[in-house]
Amino acid sequence: MTAVGITTSGVSKRLGRTQALDGVSLEFAAGGLNGLIGPDGAGKTTLMRILAGLLRPDQGSVAFSAGGRKVPFAEVRPTMAYMPQRPSLYPDLSVAEHLEFFRDLYGLAPEVYAPRAAELLSVTRLEPFRDRRASQLSGGMYKKLGLMCCLLQSPTALLLDEPTNGVDPISRREFWDLLYRLASRRVLIVISTAYMDEAERCSKVHLLDDGRVLSSGEPAALLAAEGAAGFHELFLRRADARRP
Amino acid sequence: MKGVLLAFLRKEFAQALRDPRMRALLFIMPVVQMAVFGYAISTEIRGIRLAAFHEPGDARARHLADRFFASGWFVPVPDRGLEPFALIQSGKADAVLVAPAKGLTRASGRGEAEVQLLVEATNAAKARAVEAYARSILAAVFPQPSGGGIALDVRVLYNPAMESSVFMVPGVMGMIVTLVTIVLTSMSLAREKESGTFETIIAAPLSVGEILLGKTVPFVLLGLADCVLVLLAGSLLFDVPSRGPLWMLALASAVFVVTTVSAGTLISTISRNQQQAMLGSFIFLFPANLLSGIMFPVENMPAAVRWVAYLDPLKYFVTLVRAVMLKGGDPWVFASNVAVLAAMAVLMASLSFARFRRTLE
């Protein structure tokens, strides 16, 4: 699998009156979990949408690479999967129907689809709920179905916008185990989260606050440099500093 | 391409056919509306309550009154001892036929026959119809001597009984098909935008053409199924003849459904949610129905309004269906109207294509 990389340089985006992103320069590389960490309203979703090509930056640019070579977005797009933060599955379709819909969208051959769907259903433990409609799934199951639809085409880049938001702790752990497995296959994974404890599970974190990058690097090194015990502390300190 | 289309076909059919409300909208509402509108929207007037005043021995006047009641348009009401005018005033009769005081038999013997017809005209359309029926009966009972005058020999073509259902049903068919396809198409894309699934679809590796075809072809097929349903209901319930070839009807319906689905898609590219799509659909549907010539002839409209009517796809479809079903399908009428519809379809589809954004901006 060709390793995909994304580099943003000076990306700014205004949404209405809010400056959602302000000069964001980041690098995302394959083979690890890239965490986009920040409180609500930090600009995580806006950045995700820009990476997925759903929004265009007002200023700055996004560059893509495949196997170390610079490539246009159109070349990465077909194997890029994006899971939006808000509910984006069809409430009236069942788990199996979702898989079939995305199978046909991606044009997967039956011999590719059958083993992969079976594997995903067993890993996510959604097999017993094949015929359940998305509207009747629990929060965790819903997110896992969303992830399954993304993974069906075995993407080279995976953009997950707050996939564990509102999911119970056990399901969250299962979710992360799934992601580790993918990361080891050299898939580029960008995951955003407002849960600070999840930041420590990433191989690289990018801290975002108020549309700006605070810092970016390995979680342990970052915390050591800041002299903080955890990411909660880091963000709380910042919030305090901003208070008059 | 084929796979994507298949994916959307399966998904849209599953969604449309699973929801009981949607099933009702697709398959029950058209038949019910066909039945209701076919009977209700009628320009014919029957059951006009007529009181006839004449002397007991006046054979000619009685003969005339009998002809009125035998026509099927009039039903007799007793005079209840009231004066002719009072009968109308009190609402007990719609029309009163009054023979001359000394008897119609004697009056016509003297060559000065005159019968009076009082008509309640608070509803002008109804009154005109009553008058026209009365004239036609009078002309049949007392043929005018055609000495030097011109005798008018009227022949009513294609709809000899002047049944309004024969004329209305093709119009109602067009109305129903327009309603279902426009609402269904515009709401479907708007629902995806509202529920967030739109984000998934535009992020998927699909071209704009694939997404648009995927979101429209299922509704073209459902619209065609409705055409068949409504046509069957029309011919079974109202005996509307189908004199023209079936392929003409099929081709006209296919082109029309593509046109309305394109219009629905265009509406959905402008709307952000289902409410806006619904509003947009109705802004389109009302003028489309009123200016289509289903109820009011386009020729009678003021010039400015007539020009708007020429932009109404429903007008061309109704013209087509009437021309094919009632008149047998004149090739020129058929070709020109189909061509206009096709041009509209191409225009609206191109506009939708140009307006469709694969971004969330």
Q: Report yes or no: A67 at the B interface, CB cutoff 8 Å.
A: no
Asked if the structure places residue A68 within a domain, the reply is: yes
B1 CB within 8 Å of a chain A CB: no
Q: Say if CB A75 and CB A65 are below 8 A apart.
A: no
Q: Does A47 touch chain B (CB under 8 A)?
A: no
* A93 at B interface, C-beta within 8 A: yes
CA B124/CA B130 separation, integer angstroms: 10
Partner residue facing A92 (CB), from B18, B202, B204: B18
Burial (Cβ within 10 Å: 0-12, 13-18, ≥19) of residue B20: exposed
Measured in angstroms, the CA of A69 and the nearest CA of chain B are apart by 21
Q: Decide if A114 is inside a domain.
A: no
Is the four-CA dihedral A132, A136, A141, A142 of positive or negative sign? positive
The domains located in chain B, with CATH, are 2-41+164-355 (no CATH), 48-141 (3.40.190)
Question: In this structure, are residues B253 and B314 in contact, taking their beta carbons and an 8 Å threshold?
Answer: no
For residue A56, being part of any structural domain is answered with: yes
Tokens of A147: 């992830």
Kindly tell me the sign of the dihedral angle through the C-alpha atoms of B293, B296, B300, B305.
Answer: negative
Give a yes or no: residue A149 inside a domain. no
Q: Which pLDDT score is estimated for B41?
A: 66
Q: Which helix (H) or strand (E) holds B68?
A: helix B59-70
Question: Is any Cβ of chain A less than 8 angstroms from the Cβ of B200?
Answer: yes
Q: For residue B18, which residues of chain A lie inside 8 Å, CB to CB? A: 92
Q: Are A121 and B24 in contact (CB under 8 A)?
A: no
Residue of B nearest to A14 (CA): B361
Strand order in the sheet with B116-119: B74-76, B48-53, B95-98, B116-119
Q: Which two tokens stand for residue B19?
A: 């929801």
List the one residue out of A161, A172, A146 whose CA is nearest residue A88.
A146
Interatomic CA distance for residues B259 and B318, integer angstroms: 14
Question: SS in 3 state form for B209-244?
Answer: HHHHHHHHHHHHHHHHHHHHHHHHHHHHHHCCCCCC
The upper half-sphere exposure of residue B223, i.e. CA atoms within 13 Å in the direction of its Cβ, equals 30
Quote the pLDDT of residue B112: 66
Per DSSP, the three-state class of B332 is helix
Of all helices (H) and strands (E), which one includes residue A226? Answer: helix A219-226
What's the confidence (pLDDT) of residue A1? Answer: 65
A90·B195 Cβ contact <8 A = yes
Determine whether the interchain pair A56/B14 forms a contact, defined as Cβ–Cβ distance below 8 Å.
Answer: no
Task: Say if A15 is an interface residue toward chain B (CB within 8 Å).
Answer: no
pLDDT attached to residue B132: 83
In a domain, A93, yes or no: no
* Interchain contact, A93 vs B196, CB within 8 Å: no
Is A237 among the domain residues? yes
Q: Which residues of A touch B203 (CB under 8 A)?
A: 52-54, 80-82, 84
Count the domains in chain A.
1
The alpha carbon of residue A105 is apart from the nearest alpha carbon of chain B, in Å, by: 5
Residues of chain A with pLDDT under 70: 1, 244
- Answer whether residue A118 is part of any domain: no
Q: Tell me whether B14 touches chain A (CB under 8 Å).
A: yes
Among B residues 167-186, those touching chain A with beta carbons less than 8 Å apart:
none
Q: Does B205 touch chain A (CB under 8 A)?
A: yes
pLDDT score, position B162:
63
Residues 6+ apart with CB under 8 A from B339: none
Residue A75: its chain B contacts at CB < 8 A? none
A32 part of contact set with chain B, CB < 8 Å: no
> Measured between CB atoms, does A104 come within 8 Å of chain B?
yes
Question: Which residue is it, tokens 């509202």?
Answer: B194
Please tell me if residue A224 touches chain B, with a CB cutoff of 8 Å. no
Q: What is the pLDDT of residue B72?
A: 82
Verify whether the Cβ–Cβ distance B206 to A56 is below 8 Å. Answer: no
What pLDDT sits at residue B163?
Answer: 67
Q: Judge whether B169 and B234 are in contact, CB under 8 Å.
A: yes
Rounded to the nearest 10 degrees, the angle between the axes of helix A139-151 and helix A95-106 is 20
At A36-54, the pLDDT tens digits run 998 888 899 999 999 999 9
- The answer to whether position A55 is within a domain reads yes
Question: Nearest residue of A to residue B4 by CA position?
Answer: A105
| Structural domain that includes position A187 | 4-85+156-242
Task: Read off the amino acid at residue B356.
Answer: F
Nearest CA in chain A to B359: A54
CATH number of the domain within which A8 lies: 3.40.50.300
Angle of the B246-270 helix axis to the B274-290 helix axis, nearest 10: 140
Measured from the Cβ of residue B98, the count of other Cβ atoms closer than 10 Å reads: 18
CB pairs under 8 A between A and B: 78
- Segment-wise mean pLDDT, segments of 10 residues, chain B, 361 residues: 85 89 88 82 76 85 87 85 85 86 74 79 81 82 59 63 72 89 91 88 87 93 92 84 88 96 94 92 92 84 90 93 86 94 96 86 74
Cross-chain CB nearest to A104 (options B3, B15, B203): B3
Residue B152: per-residue pLDDT: 56
Cα A189 → chain centroid: 6
Distance from CA of B307 to the nearest CA of A (A): 41
